[in-house]
Structure 1
């Protein structure tokens, strides 16, 4: 140290020069221009502050049951993820030395689900910019890819349902614009767009709120859409004629008609909204008139005209927004319930199964759901009402991937495809199955984390100082680990200072807001048995000792603000613990 201080100036120059050379070498030569290492983060156009960092993002998901695709299952295997891609899948594959191993024994891996249709609001500015169409309902030049803004809250809900990609569709309009396939990874836009300009979207009617100007009826909407398609044909021919002959008059610019040119004569995918079963037939007539490669976005009513819809030969994007039961709680309400509404409530959950049985190609979507958090519940209802699990999975993975031209990148758990996965604790379509985690473009998103400890059973809590009455506390904790419940009651003090067990017929008070996160247990306890008025707050940090019962240390805060320290011990061989284990064994047997 003294030697450095005695001659700092020359050394500082040397040190700075050395650091600059090293930094330059790392920044400029660690990755050759135009090349990217397999473990590097996705390439970015943003400048990097300081040294460029290349953290390895390689994972090996081991020991899991892998549903590669509908009907293809590896009972116990490994999936290796590198960056945002799947590197390897198999029952007996070598784990890369740089991989972080995640044990998923007892879990099941599925391909990430694809929401086949969900509308997003991207504004109406395109109706007034550039050279728009004269009618504001005609905005085919709108592009979700250019306006998309990731919604963090919505993406969290979608991921909780296993959805890793969705077709984001512009809302509003008759000729609505083009959709994009977007990832549900978070709130960042720079990695969200997976494929741009997937399909042009058409709605052959107008919404109720937009009927103050032409068109203001379904008939007018169809007429305007047809006229626009014919105008687009003329527009394309006029520009070709002008380019071929300098003597021809130069046509005017029109962004809307120019945007439609690439969707003519079946050159691109078109999705037409069918707001009921009759609109599905109208949409087919429209598509045939202009030779469109069309897919129908269904309404859930297709079972009413199943044969006619099958004859169209069109795939159908099927919503699972099933109706609630009609209100028949009172005679007056029952009289308002029509036979049609009762029949639709009964038959709507069978719609996906009936379409599939009729040989119609289907993809399932969230469209129409008031809460996308109920998506899997609705899909499971469809499975319960006749749709096979394999067909349901295909309608959520392979079929939308094929329709939207991304089957080479997603839809199955195979090497070379995007690292989009979901992990469940059992069969995805089982009633009690839980989505534990979702992987989106190689990023892990956990939804249900297994607790470090199973706290169920009977606990004795020793208090210091003890309250004025009631003595120590006995807790009984039961229920599922994700939804614990329990009771509390006082342990009366003996004359020698030790606590005695209360009589079995003494009813305990129900615990409130029981929580378990990692090693911390908390609950609200009724404080009246201990001489207080109100609710006490209990907090324990759990300690695992292999040589003794599960223990914990913490505090209880009484309603007056005073506290008592706690030493907690779970009692071994309790009836409650045995019942919990028996219940778990029964649940496990039911799942198998």
Structure 2
């Protein structure tokens, strides 16, 4: 015995001598032990692909020394026999704010504050407070004992932390969850760079939208590149810091599937492959998500069932909410099935204790366990280039591991201990006595009922049964073999029993409510029999409904495909010189119109549609629309020419389907009217269920300008008298100022490009706002201008004449009849309402003959909607010009088809029925200008996206699917599972003047 102790002390002494000394002094005598342990006879899961049975792991000084079946254990080593137990690497979370100060946003009393145009941050930093690359998480980090304990209980040993504040969030730090000081917990002070689409605590007015966030981030990348090369430049500590972190692994936080794709698009522009934290709905667009080639970080947030016991409450829940509730647990399995690399995070969980419950649910829904382990260990370690420190159980790595009772993902698995940097944290007793069973209880040597002990050996659950029916749940404390039970014995008071194990039984003393001390005992009458454990080695997905595209009501389980179609004997409105053709056939192949004529023979495999008594037209083109967008205004600055509506396209907007039902096949998505110079517009085809990129026509380059009350913020109140311009005179100066600067900017690039052919030099700073204005000057981008009043319209035409740029279209233009001759002379089109006015002072002189008077002056006139509801009836809006002004029917129809195509410079492929043009066609049941007209089908590029007969079938199947999901939710409630109160969501019906904060943009879109 003495020899064993001597050997142990010798080993400890050697360990002390060999251990590196820290730089922190300690007060008093201390003994730093080497922490040499050998864990033997364990099932050691080295990583997701390697497992050693009956293995040994040797650790020393916080590091793994050896892992194998045969390990030579040095003298003086503490040996821990783990027969029947498992060892796994401790888990890693890559999205945490552990140990960092809480982010707080200052808000003015009463909810409104004077607009903050410039940054309030002191020092030589960048101009926008939402861009904070100088934030260093390692300098803000202070260990948090409570949060560390919560993480450790779930098996985590390491977290990547960063300040969750702003668009550019600075660098992250890799820290362990030890209870040692920060200098020992910090593994890598500059491990990562972090980005998001959230302004965070910044109260600056810009950016006020997601598209503004994208533009600001893009500009920051260009500025940083210029700053790194420029010689004569300002000092900018933010750009200095940005250039230091941009080579680090870059993480981008998003909150939904479309944000994932948006972030990846930014990364592609600058050659960066972001690691993207998703929102848990990636399964809804899995092919597009895979195409990004991004590694994802996935939350395990699943919505509770809705309480649908009240049918009226059930009615307010959208189809997408119902289906997401059922399918959200499948997200990780669908991502895994698509072979998309991913890590898992606890981020987003209100209660960290839900992590394992939700992870096991994900496994039940098909997530392979080896993928789950990889997502929590080796993959996150490799993403932050820390695989040489953490993530597996290999020689030389940190001794970060957990000891479990069995399979980490097993139903009844218990994590006994979490070792971090070689330090033990006990979570549950590793050799707890198994006292489960049914006992006969005696108090004061008299029978008193039964004690039933269930649960697990480590966490027993107790019930005291008296009189065969009354069940009492006592408070219980089991420490080693000592048990204390406390319970209420009504009406007399509290009974306290303390006892110990004697063999298989329990005995001890108790104190009754009157203070008397009595003996008590519990004799085991029936050993606990655990339920048979199902084989959980293979995940078996649960049955669920299908994903639909888009993920809303009226979505398609399978996307429609292009067809070869022959429409026979229809009245064909060609919009060409042939005019309206009676009893005519049209053939569509490969998305194009191929033949027009009588008695056409159908190619093989053609679907024939009888058009007798029906009218075939080209699809309606809405020249001014705000559907299918997450936001429409970037109102933070006078000019937002740098923002792009293509960055915020929302393919899930039900208005796409509704407008297809009204014969619309294309929509020109405009920025709102918050600024004199708005954002870059987007033209989309209404391909219901298609992706953003499939809908977009990127070659169409337009931009929104605005005049009038909105741009000078007339109705915003006195508190907002800050942003220029505040008068109509100021609006004129905005145009002069910006275009003069654009000319100077363009000249600087021309000089640079000419000089660089002879001798390379430093390029001018790229300005993406001025880039758009230069495109206007070069006739590559076309202006659509929000306008009402004659004087202002004349003003902008004068500015354009002076600075040599062209106005393409005046939209609204309700006083266009006053100056149609000037518009026609300059080749400016007019896109107007048929009879929508009297909603503000600017439209008080509108007349119903406006469109007709402009038409008669030779202006190319379009009738637009500017409204999601009106767009479904644009055929009737066009018909009003026949009534008000005597416009011929064919020319009236062109106002919603060919004329918008001309204004958008796409009439070579859209707007009429002509061989070679896109097969964007609508088959109407009668004359399309009739109030009784309705589409039988609407086709975009040869694919039918709306079919009236199939629409009826969809409505029936939706009702069936809806009731199935409601019944499933009712079943969950009956089983006692948590529920949430239904919350109604409605699609946002955007209008020109609408402005919402960045955080509110995605609300109500499903």
For the superposition of Structure 1 and Structure 2, which TM-score range results when normalised by the shorter chain?
0.7 to 0.9
Distance 1:61 1:145 in 2: 34
**In the alignment, does 2:171 pair up with 1:175?**
no
Task: Give the secondary-structure state (helix, strand or coil) at the position aligned to 1:196.
Answer: strand
Q: Does 1:519 align with 2:519?
A: no
1:575 to 513, 519, 525: 525
Measure, in 1, the Cα distance between the counterparts of 2:305 and 2:450: 41
Aligned pair count reads 508
Could you say which residue in structure 2 is the equivalent of 1:94? Answer: 72
Correspondence for 2:512 among 548, 558, 576: 558
TM-score with structure 2 setting the length: 0.48
Asked whether the 8 Å contact 1:38–1:82 carries over to 2, the reply is: no
Distance 2:294 2:534 in 1: 42
**Displacement of 1:46:** 1.4
Q: CA deviation at 1:356?
A: 1.7
Deviation track 1:233-283 (CA, whole Å, cap 9, x = no partner) reads: 121112xx3xxxxxxx4x33221100111345xx32211122211111111
The correspondence of residues 143-158 of structure 1 with structure 2, limited to 5 A, is 143-158=136-151
Aligned mates of 1:591, 1:277 — CA distance in 2: 31
Whole-angstrom CA distance in 1 between matches of 2:441 and 2:248:
69
Asked if 1:365 is matched to 2:345, the reply is: yes
Partners of 2:471 and 2:340 in 1: CA distance: 57
Tell me which residue corresponds to 1:218: 210
Matched, 1:46 2:24: yes
Residue 60 of structure 2 aligns with which residue?
A: 82
CA offsets, 1:164-197, max 9 Å, x none?
Answer: 1111121110111111111112363222211122
Q: Secondary structure at the match of 2:162?
A: strand
Corresponding position: 1:260 with 2:242:
yes
Structure 1 distance, partners of 2:183, 2:83, is 34
Contact 1:204 / 1:225 at 8 angstroms: preserved in 2? no
1:496 alignment partner in structure 2: none
The structure that has the greater radius of gyration is: 2
> Partners in 1 of 2:229 and 2:245 — Cα distance?
14
Q: 2:48 touches 2:370 (CA, 8 Å); kept in 1?
A: yes
Q: Give the secondary structure class of the aligned counterpart of 2:182.
A: coil
State the distance in 2 between where 1:511 and 1:323 align: 30
- Which among 215, 220, 241 is matched to residue 228 of structure 1? 220
Per the alignment, do residues 543 and 275 of structure 1 end up closer, same or farther by CA in structure 2, a change over 3 Å counting? closer
Scaled by the length of structure 1, what TM-score is found?
A: 0.79
Cα deviations across residues 469-511 of structure 1 (Å, max 9, x unaligned)? xx4756534323323324366xxxxxxxxxxxxxxx8656635
Kindly indicate whether the alpha-carbon contact (under 8 Å) linking 2:128 and 2:204 is maintained by their aligned counterparts in 1.
no
Q: 2:508, 2:521 within 8 Å by CA — same for their partners in 1?
A: no
2:362 aligned counterpart, secondary structure: helix
Any idea what the Cα deviations from partners look like across 1:216-247, whole Å, max 9, x if unmatched? 11122112112222111121112xx3xxxxxx
Taking a change above 3 Å as real, the CA distance of residues 521 and 488 of structure 1, as seen in their structure-2 partners, is: farther
* Preserved contact between residue 158 and residue 372 of structure 1 (Cα < 8 Å): yes
Preserved contact between residue 511 and residue 526 of structure 1 (Cα < 8 Å): no
Change (3 A) 1:321 1:166: same
Measured in 2, the distance between the counterparts of 1:39 and 1:433 equals: 40
| 525 and 406 in structure 1: CA distance in 2 versus 1, 3 angstrom threshold | closer
Please provide the CA RMSD for this pair.
Answer: 2.9
Is 1:536 the equivalent of 2:495? yes
**Aligned ranges for residues 56-67 of structure 1 at < 5 Å?**
56-67=34-45
Residue 425 of structure 2 is aligned to residue 448 of structure 1:
no
Q: What is the aligned partner in structure 1 of residue 454 from structure 2?
A: 479
How far apart are residue 336 of structure 1 and its match? 1.7
CA 1:488 to 1:291, structure 2 compared with 1: closer, same or farther past 3 Å?
A: closer
Q: For the Cα contact (< 8 Å) 1:164–1:184, is it kept in 2? A: yes
Separation in 1, partners of 2:190, 2:120: 18
Q: Determine the C-alpha separation between the residues in 2 that align with 1:180 and 1:558.
A: 56
2:450 is aligned with 1:458: no
Structure 1: runs of 5 or more not aligned: 1-29, 242-248, 490-504
| Pairwise CA distance, 1:524 | 2.6
Query: Which of 285, 288, 309 pairs up with 1:329?
Result: 309
Mapping 1:153-168, distance limit 5 Å? 153-168=146-161
Q: Is the 8 A contact 2:58 2:71 kept in 1?
A: no
Q: Is contact 1:269-1:292 (8 Å) kept?
A: no
Distance in structure 2 (CA, Å) of the matches to 1:232 and 1:551: 72
* Corresponding position of 2:809: none
